[in-house]
């Protein structure tokens, strides 16, 4: 009789390696985990090799004012310069004045001239001295007439300016015409001042010629010494003959001028000068202080040839500008000081503008990259005038468009970009 609890023959014959085999569920998890790791590594490699969005700076196209300037080096100069020359031949004493010394008209003695007696006593020298007196008289009369003409012009210009200035009704006259009348009155006033200086010079030259003639007629009186006095108020700019020497009539001795009566001269290329108008806005920079305003007074009609630092011959034109009356530069600058001149050649109160750094040249066309929903899109732009920072837009883009500023070489059409 068999035992019911004894194991079956099949269960008692299990192989040893089958007893150590792990459960089937644990093996599947291990394979799944390995596959996930491999898939993650592949994803990382793909992400590393895929192109990343390029960080860029973005500017906005918008309307605004634009002024185009022409920049050039310039220098200051005293408007009215006076060279005092020897009125007669003689032995000139040493000049003790130095550049920068102040002189007063009719009082400051520049130097003394002791005549050489032999030539002063002959008839020919006496006739020449008499001729100089007559010439001095004619010069004085001409200077007097020039002064009267300048005063008449000033009176007319001042009357017009007073009439325009007192007219407060809006719309009766433009701001440009008001500035023109004001500038005309100011220029006429300066012409009167220049004519007064010229008359003073003529009067003193006549007095010096008469004194020379008097000494010829009466050489025994007064010791025959001529005191050469300053004809105008100002300062000494340059001493041309400092040491004591024998001088002939007309020998330059000393140069005088008013250091507060400054103007600025700039040598502008002729192709740029044709766009400059009298009365145009000017900014004087790099003179040692903040930029100061000025106005173009004159554009000389004749150009001259100048060789550049690169050896290229250029045609240039002198453009003269006046400082504003209350400009601090008038108190600090002197004659022949270097400045940077920026002359306005074009202005618009409102025009569509794009940053100049967003444009690049491709052949003969200007182009830019638009920021279009994270993509860079190339657009052809019709560019106008520029001041170096902003450029006028005539077509191709519209207000509100976002453009890429200074895009790197890696940015192409359709590249993914992101704002920095």
Residue with tokens 């040493």: 94
In the chain, the N- to C-terminal Cα span, in Å, equals: 94
Residue 224, C-beta contacts closer than 8 angstroms, at least 6 positions apart: 114, 115, 117, 120, 215
- Between 154 and 340, whose confidence is greater? 340
pLDDT of residue 181: 76
pLDDT of residue 31: 77
As a whole number, mean pLDDT of residues 304-315 equals: 91
Residue with tokens 């001295």: 129
- Between 411 and 230, whose confidence is greater? 230
Q: Can you tell me the distance from the alpha carbon of 305 to that of 250, in angstroms, rounded to the nearest whole number? A: 32
Q: Can you tell me the distance from the alpha carbon of 365 to that of 377, in angstroms, rounded to the nearest whole number? A: 16
All structural domains of the chain, each given as residue ranges with its CATH number in brackets, are: 55-66+349-419 (2.40.420.20), 67-76+260-348 (2.40.30.170), 80-257 (2.40.50.100)
pLDDT of residue 137: 85
Q: Can you tell me the distance from the alpha carbon of 398 to that of 390, in angstroms, rounded to the nearest whole number? A: 15
In the chain, what are the helix, strand and coil shares in percent, each to the nearest 5? Answer: 35, 35, 30
- Between 411 and 115, whose confidence is greater? 411
Q: How many CA atoms lie within 13 A of 286 on its CB side?
A: 10
Handedness of CA 191, 192, 194, 195 (dihedral sign): positive
Output the average pLDDT for the chain: 83
- The alpha helices in 218-305, defined as continuous H runs, are 270-273
- Between 171 and 350, whose confidence is greater? 350
As a whole number, mean pLDDT of residues 15-34 equals: 65
Which residues are registered as beta bridge partners of 268? 317
Q: Can you tell me the distance from the alpha carbon of 238 to that of 273, in angstroms, rounded to the nearest whole number? A: 32
Handedness of CA 163, 166, 172, 173 (dihedral sign): positive
CB 238 within 8 A of CB 259: no
The answer to whether the predicted template modeling score (pTM) of the entire model surpasses 0.75 is no
Q: To 10 degrees, what angle do helices 123-165 and 175-217 make? A: 160
pLDDT of residue 274: 92
The predicted-structure confidence for 358-382, as pLDDT tens digits, reads as follows: 898 888 899 999 988 888 899 999 9
The predicted-structure confidence for 184-243, as pLDDT tens digits, reads as follows: 878 888 888 888 888 888 888 888 877 777 665 554 444 568 899 999 899 999 999 999
The predicted-structure confidence for 41-72, as pLDDT tens digits, reads as follows: 887 777 666 567 778 888 899 999 999 999 99
Please determine, for residue 93, whether its predicted confidence score (pLDDT) is greater than 70: yes
Percentage of the chain with pLDDT > 90? 35
């Amino acid at each position: 009789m068999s035992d019911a609890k004894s194991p079956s023959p099949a269960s008692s014959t299990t192989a040893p390696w089958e007893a150590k085999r792990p459960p089937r569920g644990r093996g599947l998890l291990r394979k799944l985990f390995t596959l996930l790791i491999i898939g993650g590594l592949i994803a990382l490699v793909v992400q590393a090799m895929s192109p990343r969005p390029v960080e860029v700076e973005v500017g906005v196209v918008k309307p605004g004012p634009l002024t185009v300037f022409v920049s050039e080096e310039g220098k200051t100069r005293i408007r009215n310069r006076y060279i005092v020359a020897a009125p007669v031949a003689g032995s000139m004493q040493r000049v003790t004045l130095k550049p920068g010394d102040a002189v007063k008209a009719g009082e400051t003695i520049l130097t003394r001239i002791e005549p050489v007696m032999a030539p002063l006593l002959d008839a020919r020298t006496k006739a020449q001295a008499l001729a100089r007196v007559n010439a001095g008289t004619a010069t004085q009369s001409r200077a007097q007439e020039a002064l009267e003409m300048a005063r008449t012009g000033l009176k007319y210009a001042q009357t017009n300016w007073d009439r325009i200035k007192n007219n407060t009704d809006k719309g009766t006259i433009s701001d440009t015409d008001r500035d023109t009348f004001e500038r005309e009155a100011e220029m006429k006033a300066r012409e009167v001042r220049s004519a007064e200086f010229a008359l003073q010079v003529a009067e003193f030259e006549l007095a010096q010629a008469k004194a020379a003639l008097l000494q010829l007629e009466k050489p025994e009186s007064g010791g025959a010494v001529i005191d050469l006095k300053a004809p105008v108020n100002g300062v000494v700019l340059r001493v041309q003959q400092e040491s004591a020497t024998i001088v002939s009539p007309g020998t330059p001795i000393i140069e005088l001028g008013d250091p507060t009566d400054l103007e600025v001269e700039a040598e502008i290329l002729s192709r740029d000068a044709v766009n400059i108008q009298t009365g145009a806005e000017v900014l004087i920079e790099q003179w040692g202080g903040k930029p100061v305003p000025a106005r173009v007074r004159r554009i000389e009609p004749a150009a001259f040839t100048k060789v550049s630092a690169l050896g290229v011959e250029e045609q240039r034109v002198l453009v003269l500008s006046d400082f504003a009356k209350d400009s601090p530069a008038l108190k600090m600058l002197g004659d022949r000081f270097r400045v940077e001149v920026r002359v306005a050649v074009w202005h618009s109160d409102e025009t569509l503008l794009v940053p100049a750094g967003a444009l690049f040249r491709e052949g003969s066309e200007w182009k830019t990259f638009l920021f279009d929903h994270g993509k860079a899109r190339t657009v052809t732009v019709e560019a106008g005038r520029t001041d170096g920072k902003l450029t006028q837009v005539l077509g191709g883009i519209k207000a509100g468009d976002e453009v890429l500023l200074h895009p790197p070489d890696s940015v192409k059409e359709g590249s993914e970009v992101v704002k920095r």
